[in-house]
Structure 1
Amino acid sequence: MKTATTGSVDANGAMLAYTAAGPEDGTPVVLAHSLFMTREMMHPLLRRFASDGFRVVAYDHRGQGGSSPAMRQELELPALTEDLAALITELGLTRPHVVGNSLGGMIALRLAAWHPDLVRTATAIGASAEHEHRRDEFDLLVDHLTAYGTTGALDIGNGTMPVRELLAHIMFGDDTLAYNQTLTSRWMDYFDQLPPSIGDAADAVVARDSVVEDLKDCQVPVLAIAGAQDHAYPDPISGKNIAEAVGAAGHHIVIPGAGHSPALEQPALVYAALTEHFPRAA
């Protein structure tokens, strides 16, 4: 990315690391990453949008990647949503298209519901607007992460699985796991390096409140993208349910050959869906 620059910004009391690319006068796009990953997962989209003349910013959530650490209570989704609102303001991004995968998508939905004046369109990829449906199961993972980080293995009911492999199963679809070892190995190596503090970020996601009621009559165009092989939030959770919660401004699609991370697994298909979605903005 020859035109990309990296930096950090003080937003809502957190120092958020970001990568920016594309012409400064281009229509802004903000990209928000998944839990357990960093803004690098959004770089395939960043490159495509920057090449098309958009001004693109991909950032790390507080407590993850290159952004500042935070206590567990500072990682709840309302706080992360205010971080994004502050980042948009501090970087002078006028009504950006906001695109997020998983945790990033949950934040995008909340920003559209709570700060519609800041958002041109919102896209939630592999996300959920609801309470966590698998709370007990994911609480076991949170407890392990908090105590041991990503070392060791976890009993998943029908045997044990190394935590790095469990995270890969959550984050990727069957096709990616079977046929894209370069991608999965790169991220599993990153999972190995995650500290126990990642358990705090995971707890904030698992313990989140529903935003379904907040999205009713949302006027911001919202696209929900589900991965056809999502092991964590399969459609309709990550697709149809979100669109129906939004109402007339909501749309959803399903991306084939992708799991929980379509932005990383099938960026070309996601990019095509986004370029169709963006013109829905008023």
Structure 2
Amino acid sequence: MSATGPVRHDPERLATVGSVDLCHDAFGEPDHPPVLLVMGLGFQLVHWPEDFCRRLAAEGLRVVRFDNRDAGRSTHLPGQRYTLEDMADDAAGLLDALGMPAAHVVGASLGGMIAQTMAIRHPDRVRSLASLMSTTGRRGKGRTSVRVLRHALGRPPRTEEEAIDRRVRVFSVIGSPGFDQDVDELRRTTALAFRRDPDAREGRRRQHRAVRAAADRTEALRRLTVPTVVIHGTADLMCHPSGGRATAEAVPGAHLVLVPGMGHDLPRGAWPRLVRAIVDNAGRAGGR
């Protein structure tokens, strides 16, 4: 039971989508309007905090989170190349597998790129779009600080403790300076992610290759008609706020929500504002 009261949580399952199996779980009642959460580069469904998902579900929504291909317990694809379009098609295919005609789609970082691409390729499957801490792919927008790039180098963690120490160091740089950081929760989630996918680095590289090969989505975003909210932290060093501004400028009628002091994470102190923005945007599509 969370602070918001008892919310149904369905355990992890695998769904076959084309040539991959996608691991997913869900919060809330099956007959409530669905929300699909799409996580970022090398991250897993567990990086959407459970209590955050419960808060969304408590608003009368069915919240589904999943591991992208090459992450967590979903299919890994050594030696293969794929695109953001393939990853967006995975997300749409997951809706098919779950019997969901459409969903409110929420993506963070790379997940925001996937969500944008899904709205472009499958507009009838996206009831509303929330793009968090992401960008359009336009050169010069949403650039990563050199301070962050220094932490991206180094050998992959060989043990759970090395993975935890590395993640704590990275999030001391890319986390939210304007909010308290729950280091204990960060350590717990990192340990869980390592157990679910101890060889995550190679999958992350293949995902990164898909990002680097992606085209600028700006012109395609201008043709969207879906209710859209763009959420970005003003202190984001991984993806500069210019990426969020560019996204909001590209999508007609998009609402831009800049969160002071938020970095490239989901700090608990920001949850009320994030949940409100996502739910209000879903409401614009009749999503309550």
Q: Smaller-chain TM-score range? A: 0.7 to 0.9
1:18 paired with 2:24, answer yes
Q: 1:268 aligns with which of 244, 252, 272?
A: 272
Structure 1 residues 139, 72: closer, same or farther in 2, change over 3 A? Answer: farther
Query: What is the rounded CA distance, in whole Å, between the counterparts of 2:193 and 2:171 in structure 1?
Result: 9
Q: Identity of aligned pairs, percent?
A: 26
Query: Residue 180 of structure 1 aligns with which residue?
Result: 182
Structure 1 residues 132, 209: closer, same or farther in 2, change over 3 A? Answer: same
Flag structure 1 segments of 5+ consecutive residues without an equivalent. 152-161
1:202 paired with 2:218, answer no
1:31 paired with 2:31, answer no
Contact 1:23 1:54 (C-alpha < 8 Å) held by counterparts: yes
Contact 2:168 2:187 (C-alpha < 8 Å) held by counterparts: no
Deviation at 1:196, TM superposition (A): 3.1
Flag structure 2 segments of 5+ consecutive residues without an equivalent. 2-6, 159-164
Contact 2:144 2:238 (C-alpha < 8 Å) held by counterparts: no
Deviation at 1:139, TM superposition (A): 8.4
Structure 1 residues 26, 188: closer, same or farther in 2, change over 3 A? Answer: closer
Q: 1:168 aligns with which of 171, 180, 183?
A: 171
Contact 1:132 1:206 (C-alpha < 8 Å) held by counterparts: no
Deviation at 1:279, TM superposition (A): 1.6
The 5-angstrom pairing of residues 250-265 of structure 1 reads 250-262=254-266
Equivalent residues, number: 267
Structure 1 residues 50, 72: closer, same or farther in 2, change over 3 A? Answer: farther
- Give CA-to-partner distance per residue, 1:173-227, whole Å, 9 cap, x none: 2245x64322443455568755431222233234432211111121111111001
Query: Residue 122 of structure 2 aligns with which residue?
Result: 115
Contact 1:263 1:270 (C-alpha < 8 Å) held by counterparts: no
Which amino acid letter does the alignment assign opposite residue 252 of structure 1? L
Query: What is the rounded CA distance, in whole Å, between the counterparts of 2:190 and 2:16 in structure 1?
Result: 30
Q: CA RMSD in A?
A: 3.0
Contact 2:68 2:74 (C-alpha < 8 Å) held by counterparts: yes
Query: Residue 77 of structure 1 aligns with which residue?
Result: 84
Give the TM-score normalised by structure 2.
0.80
* Farther off after superposition, 209-218 or 257-266: 257-266
Query: What is the rounded CA distance, in whole Å, between the counterparts of 1:87 and 1:95 in structure 2?
Result: 11
Deviation at 1:66, TM superposition (A): 1.4
Query: Residue 134 of structure 2 aligns with which residue?
Result: 127
Contact 1:170 1:232 (C-alpha < 8 Å) held by counterparts: no
Structure 1 residues 75, 136: closer, same or farther in 2, change over 3 A? Answer: farther
Structure 1 residues 212, 169: closer, same or farther in 2, change over 3 A? Answer: farther
Structure 1 residues 166, 172: closer, same or farther in 2, change over 3 A? Answer: same
Which amino acid letter does the alignment assign opposite residue 48 of structure 1? R
Give the TM-score normalised by structure 1.
0.82
Q: 2:69 aligns with which of 56, 62, 66?
A: 62
Query: What is the rounded CA distance, in whole Å, between the counterparts of 1:12 and 1:258 in structure 2?
Result: 37
Which amino acid letter does the alignment assign opposite residue 173 of structure 1? S
